Amino acid sequence: MLDAISNFFQRALAEPEQRDNQTLTLELATAALLCEIMRADYDKSDAERAALKQMLINRYHLSESDVNELMTLAEAEVDDAVDHYQFVSLIKEHYGYEQRYELVALMWQLAWADGSVDPLEEHRIRRLADLLHVSHSDFIRSKLESTPHDD
C-alpha cells in the first residue's frame, strides 16, 4: 500500500493542475493516516467507510474521485506493518500541535463511527499519536471528548 499511496502523492505533486496549493499533499497524508484507523480492526464497516468518506470530502475538501482512489488504496492493503514515516513526518513538519491534536481527535471520531472502539483501533491511534508527538494526556483527553455519552 505504501508504494501505491506514494505513487498517488507523486501524481498529485507532478500535476499542479490537480491541486490548488501544496496543502493538498498534507491533506492526503492526513487522509492516509485516517484510512489506517478505519482498517485497524480488520472490520471495514459501512459506517466507518461512510464516516471516513464524508470526513475526507468535507473536512479536507478532497474530490470524491480522490477520496475513492485513496480509500481503495488503503483498503487493498492487508499487511498491518505499514510504515507511516513519510506521512507522519510531513504532518509534523507542517502542522502545529493543535492541528496534530485535532487529527488524533478525528481518528477517535472515525473509530467510534461503528458504535464501538476495538482495542486494535485504540492501539493504532495511540501509536500514531505518539509518532505525531501528541502528549499522552491529550491522547486521553481526545478519547474522552470523542466518546459518545448517553444523555
Sequence spans of domains, the chain: 2-146
Q: Which helix (H) or strand (E) holds 136?
A: helix 136-146
What's the mean pLDDT in 84-90? Answer: 78
What pLDDT score was predicted for residue 102? 92
What pLDDT score was predicted for residue 21? 46
pTM score, two decimals? Answer: 0.75
Class of domain 2-146: mainly alpha
Is 139's pLDDT higher than 70? Answer: yes
Cell of 57: 470530502
Is 77's pLDDT higher than 50? Answer: no
pLDDT tens digits for range 102-119: 999 999 999 999 889 999
Judge contact between 5 and 74, C-beta under 8 A: yes
Confidence tier at 68 by pLDDT (50, 70, 90): confident
Judge contact between 110 and 34, C-beta under 8 A: yes
